[in-house]
A and B are shown apart, each in its own frame.
Chain A
Amino acid sequence: MSAMPGEKAVIDRERLNDLISILNRQGYTVIGPTMGEGAILYDVVTGIGDLPAGWGDEEEGGRYRPVRRSDQALFGYSKPAQGLKGHLHPARQRLFAAERAGNGFRVLKDEGKAPRYAFLGARACELAAMRVQDKVFDNGAYRDPHYFAKRDDAFIALVTCAQAGGTCFCASMNSGPDATEGFDLKLAELGSTFLIEAGSERGAAILAQLSPRPATDADRQAGVAQIAKARQQSRSMVEGVGPMMAARLEHPHWDEVAKRCMTCGNCTMVCPTCFCTTVEDVTDLAGNNAERWRKWDSCFSVDYSYIHGGAVRSQGAARYRQWITHKLSHWVSQFGVSGCVGCGRCITWCPVGIDITAEAKALGG
Chain B
Amino acid sequence: MAFRKKAATPPPEPPQPRTLFEKIWDAHVVDRQDDGTCVIYVDRHLVHEVTSPQAFEGLRMAGRKVHRPDATIAVADHNTPTTTGAMDDESRIQVETLESNVAEFGVPYFDMNDPRRGIVHVIGPEQGLTLPGMTIVCGDSHTSTHGAFGALAFGIGTSEVEHVLATQTLIQKPAKNMRVAVEGSLPIGVTAKDVILAIIGRLGTAGGTGYVVEYAGRAIREMTMEGRMTVCNMSIEAGARAGLIAPDETTFKYLYGRPYAPKGGAWDLALGQWRRLPSDKTAVFDSQLDLLASDIPPMVTWGTSPQDALPITDVIPDPANAPDENRREAWARSLAYMGLTPGTRLVDVPIDRVFIGSCTNGRIEDLRAAAEIARGRKVASTVSAMVVPGSGLVKAEAEREGLDKIFIEAGFEWRLQGCSMCLAMNADRLEDGQRCASTSNRNFEGRQGRGGRTHLVSPAMAVAAAIRGTLADVRDFQ
Bound together: no
Interface positions of B (Cβ within 8 A of A):
none
